[in-house]
Structure formats: C-alpha cells, structure tokens
Amino acid sequence: MHRTGELYGQFKTLDQQKETATLGMWIFLVTEILFFGGLFLTYTINRHEFPTAFGIGGNMLDLFLGGLNTVVLIASSFTMAMSVWSAQTGKKPLVTIFLSLTLLLGSVFLGVKVVEYKQKFDHRLVPGRNFDVTYCSKNPASVCGLTQKEHGDEIKEIREGVELEGGEIALNAHAQLYFSLYFGMTGLHALHMIVGAGLLLYLILQARKGRFDASYNTPVENIGLYWHFVDIVWIFLFPLLYLINRHLA
Amino acid sequence: MSENSAHHVVSPKIYAAILAALLLGTWLTVQAAKIDLGPWNIVLALVIATIKMSLVILFFMHGKYSPRRTQLVIISGFFWLAIMLGLTLTDYRARTPEPSRTANPPAAAVDRS
C-alpha cells in the first residue's frame, strides 16, 4: 500500500508528516463524534418524552452482559495502547502480541453482543410485528429464563407501566422506540467494532513482517485512536441504555 | 528515548493506572445506578462517563501530549457537539407538544412545565 516510513515531498520532517496524519485522524473522529451525537440527541429527546417506557426497556437488558462487555472493551483499549507503546519502543514481537489480544477482546465483545441480540429476539423485544414488551410478564418465568422474584418484579413493573402510559398499546409503542434506539445505537457501534477488527487484522499482518518500530508506527497509532473512540462511545452507551432505572428493578 | 511532540512515549505504568481507573469507574457507575437519586441518577452517570472519556482521550489517545493544534481540533469536536445538543434541546423544550400528542397525551409527556 505505502512504503514504510518514507518522507513524502510535501513534508519537511518525518515528525511533521506524522503529526499531520494524526491531525487528519482526529478531524475524522470529530465527524464521528457528531455522527453518533445525532443518535444521542434522538435518544435524549425520546427518553425525556417517554421516561416510563424507556425505564422498562432499560431494565430488560442484561446488566451482567452489558457490564462484562464494558470491562472487555476497556481492557481492549489498554492492550491497544500497549501495542502503540511496544511499537514506539521498538519491541516488534510485542506489537503483534498486543494487537492480537486487542482483536481477541474485540471479538469477545461482538460475541457477547450476539448472545444479547439473540436473547432480545427470544423475548420479543425486536421492533416489528412480533414486538411485545409484556411477553415475559405474560408467560411463565421459565420461558424467559427469569427467577420467580425477577418474574414477579417484571409483572409489577409492566402493570405500573401500562397504567402510567395509559394502556398496553401506548406502552408497547414507546418501548418499541427505546428498542429501536437500542438496536440502532449498539448496532452502529458494533459495525464500528467490525471495521476496527478488519483494521486490526491488517495491522497484525503488517506487524508480523516487522513494519512498525520507533521510527515508523503511524498506522498503529491512528487505528489505535479509532479503537479508543469506539470505546468512548460504549462508555456512554452503557449507562444510558442499561442503567436508566436500575434503582427501581 | 527522545521526547519530542510527535513521539511522546507514555509508560505502561500510566496505561495500567488508567485501566484501573476506568474499571473502578465502571463499577462505580453500576453501583450508583442502584441507588435512587431521583433526577440526579442520570447526572451522576454522565459525570462518571465524562471522566472516563477524559482519561481515555488524555492518556490512551495521547491528547495530553499532542501539539496544541491537535488539541484545538479535539476541543472543537465537543464544541460542535455542544452546539448540536444545546440548541436542539432548548428549541425542543420551547415548543408546545405536537397536536398528535395532545389528543391523547401519554401520562409521561404531560410534565412540560
């Protein structure tokens, strides 16, 4: 693709060349901030409008899996930062190891996400014809894999929700808004993770050839910036989607 | 290791400390969500998330060690985000509910003092 660490004609020094590349990456990330920002804005307005339905929706997510994914993603940001350090200090074998660990953790995140999405399909929480936020409360606890206590709490929560929203149809409509945003936002985030995994694969192949060292590591650094950005998006998605009304659950 | 602006090397110790702080923040935000703080639950959650984000940008993303020009670009991103969120939300709040809503307002939407 490009020759390693070569100074292009428009730059005076390699440092200036690298600074320019990093600046460009940040400008791209600013557009990404605004891209996700629009979704966060939509979320804020709808949550303000329908707090009851959003609270119920949030409590139907799996807090353990969401928390686990937060830890996994933070750990992957750490290994990504360590691969940049390994390149900067010329430890070539470590670059490959840390990049591979980052890819592994990213894959674990996506795997957990698959389990979560599957659960939402089973619980009739995917927007569309079969959507029914009351499904788990209307069926025996075993259907949704709930304990007796969880099932009792959910029945109570749904009953209060129906009352506050003025009917089951209204509750379902507004809970569907929540789950549309849930799938839209986590889906777009997961898409970024998939792109990131592809970029990591490219970096690993390059690192195995020993391309990155103290004098040339711009791709590791800039793809690292992208990876950390995706981590930051999740840092906000986790509390906003999973923790809305946990104190009531 | 030469220390110029383009090649600042952050030590693994700092990275490990940031990792620990981020994990602590995650634990804190889960615990804080289980306490009923009324309208302050969301504020606390966002404060913790913003602190976590700042740590990632400053250290993992080397924002603290970047040239001024790059730092300006980073800040400008959040400035524009603030314009988008701030102006849209103030506009939204200043409007009366849409007619379709007033016909049969959901209980939750009535509070528009």
Contacts of A40 in chain B (CB under 8 A): 85
Instruction: Give pLDDT, residue B103.
Output: 53
Nearest chain A CA: its distance from B105 CA (Å): 9
Of B19, B29, B85, nearest to A239 by CB-CB distance is B29
Determine the Cα–Cα distance for residues A125 and A61; give it in Å rounded to an integer.
10
One pLDDT digit (tens) per residue for chain A, 249 residues: 455 678 898 999 998 999 999 999 999 999 999 999 999 999 999 999 999 999 999 999 999 999 999 999 999 999 999 999 999 999 999 999 999 999 999 999 999 999 999 999 999 999 999 999 999 999 999 999 899 999 999 999 999 999 999 999 999 999 999 999 999 999 999 999 999 999 999 999 999 999 999 989 999 999 999 999 999 999 999 999 999 888 876
Instruction: Determine the structural domain holding residue A108 and report its residue range.
Output: 24-248
Residue pairs between chains A and B whose CB atoms are closer than 8 Å: 161
Do the domain assignments include residue A16?
Answer: no
Six-digit token pair at B67? 């040239």
Alpha carbon of A54 to those of A4, A97, A165, A180: distances in Å?
Answer: 50, 42, 11, 11
User: What residues does each domain of chain B span?
Assistant: 5-66
Q: Is the model's pLDDT at B100 over the cut of 60?
A: no
Kindly report the number of other CB atoms within 10 A of residue B5's CB atom. Answer: 13
Q: What's the burial of A198, exposed, middle or buried (CB within 10 Å: 0-12/13-18/19+)?
A: exposed
CB-CB contact of A62 with A120 (8 Å): no
Do the domain assignments include residue A36?
Answer: yes
ipTM: 0.93
Do the domain assignments include residue A166?
Answer: yes
Do the domain assignments include residue A4?
Answer: no
Alpha helices by DSSP H, listed for A123-215, are: 135-138, 148-165, 168-208
B10, closest residue in chain A (CA to CA): A85
CB-CB contact of A112 with A72 (8 Å): yes
DSSP classification of residue A239? I
Structural domains counted in chain A: 1
Which B-chain residues 29-68 have CB contacts (< 8 A) with chain A?
Answer: 29-30, 33-37, 41-42, 45-46, 48-49, 52-53, 56-57, 59-62, 66-67
Mind listing the pLDDT tens digit for each residue in B45-92?
999 999 999 999 999 999 999 999 999 999 999 999 999 999 999 988
Determine the Cα–Cα distance for residues A88 and A83; give it in Å rounded to an integer.
9
Do the domain assignments include residue A103?
Answer: yes
CATH number at residue A39: 1.20.120.80
